[in-house]
Amino acid sequence: MKGVTREEFQIGKGVSRRDFIRGALTGGALVMSGGLLLGGCERRKPLAATFIGRVERYDADIASVIIAGLRELGVATHEIMGKRILLKPNLVEPHAGAGHINTHPLVIRGAAEAFLRLGADKVLVAEGPGHCRDSLLVLEESGVGEVLHEDKIPFIDLNYVSGYTLANAGKFTDLATLTFPETLRQVDWIVSMPKMKTHHWAGVTLSMKNLFGVMPGSFYGWPKNLLHFKGIDKSILDIAATLRPHFAIVDGIVGMEGDGPIMGTPRHAGVLVMGRNLPAVDATCARVMGIDPKKVGYLEAASQRLGPISESAIIQRGENVRSVRTDFTLLDYIPAHKGLRIS
C-alpha cells in the first residue's frame, strides 16, 4: 500500500516546510559515535543517547518536539530525506475514551508530520493488534482512524500480510526462525511508538515489547500465543535482536500504571522519550516511571547484547530524568511488579 507523500501532507497554519526545517535545524546536527573511551584506564563502553521532551498535553506542537529530539540525537537530514517511514503504534484494544491504553492519535500525527517535514517520501502506520482481530474497530474506537483519514496516511494490518522468514538472531527462545510481515522490508525506517505502561507479566511494556505487534496473528495466533508459550521475555529479545528497528518514540504524556497493559489506570507523566537504541530508550522510560531497569528481566538481558541500560552508558538529551520522574503504581499482588522500584 502506498504511503502519503510529503507533498500530500498538509502542514497548515501558514508555516512553509522550508521555514519550519530552517528553524528546526538551526545549530546543526549532533553526530553520535558508536562508542567512546570513558577515561584513560576504563575499558571502552557502548553508548547510546536518549531524548526526553516535556509535553504536558496532546494538543501541544508534538511534531516540533519530535524534530528537536531527532536533531539532538544526531539524526541527519539525509537519513530521512526521500525515505519510507513505518510508524508502529501500540493499538491493543478497542476502548473508546480510554486514551491510556493505546498510543494517542495526536502523537502518531505528530510523528508523521515531523518525518514528512524533514523530507521523508512516504509515511504509513502499521500494527497487528494482539487481542482484537477486527483492526478497523480498533482504529475507530481509538481515534487513530479519524486522524489517518484526515491526513491521508494509510494503515496496514500486519496480522494478515504475507510473511518472510529470518533466522532467529536472538536465540533466547528455541525458535529457529521468525516470520515478519512483508511490509517491514518495503520500508527504510521502522519506528516503534508504544504507550508508556506497566505490564502484568513483563513488568513494563515499552518500545521493545511493542514489537509483538509486528508479528502476524495469522502465523502466531491471538494474542500471539506461540510467543507467549515460548516466554514473553525471551520472545521480546528475539524479535528485537532479529528485526533491529531504527527508532523509538514513546508516548508518556499519559501512560498506564497498575495492572497494565489493559486494565490499569491513567498516569500523567508529560513526556515523550525517543532514541535509536531501544533498550536504552526503555531503560530511560523505566527510570521516568520510578522503575529500576536492571530489575526488569528482559532489559537486563538486553543490556548484555542489544544495548546499554546503565545511566553511565546513556547520554541524556533534553530533560533530566529526575526532573520528570513520575512513580507509576506497582501492585504487590503482581509478581512481575515486585522489587522493581528504584531504591
pLDDT of residue 58: 97
Residue 98 pLDDT: 75
Q: pLDDT tens digit string along 152-191?
A: 999 999 999 999 999 999 999 999 999 999 999 999 999 9
pTM: 0.88
pLDDT tens per residue across span 183-221: 999 999 999 999 999 999 999 999 999 999 999 999 998
Rounded to whole angstroms, the Cα distance separating 222 from 129 reads: 9
Mean pLDDT, consecutive 10-residue stretches, the chain (343 aa), reads: 52 40 36 32 67 98 98 97 98 76 96 98 94 80 94 96 97 98 98 98 98 94 92 98 98 97 96 98 98 98 96 97 98 97 94
CA separation for the pair 229, 24 (Å, rounded): 46
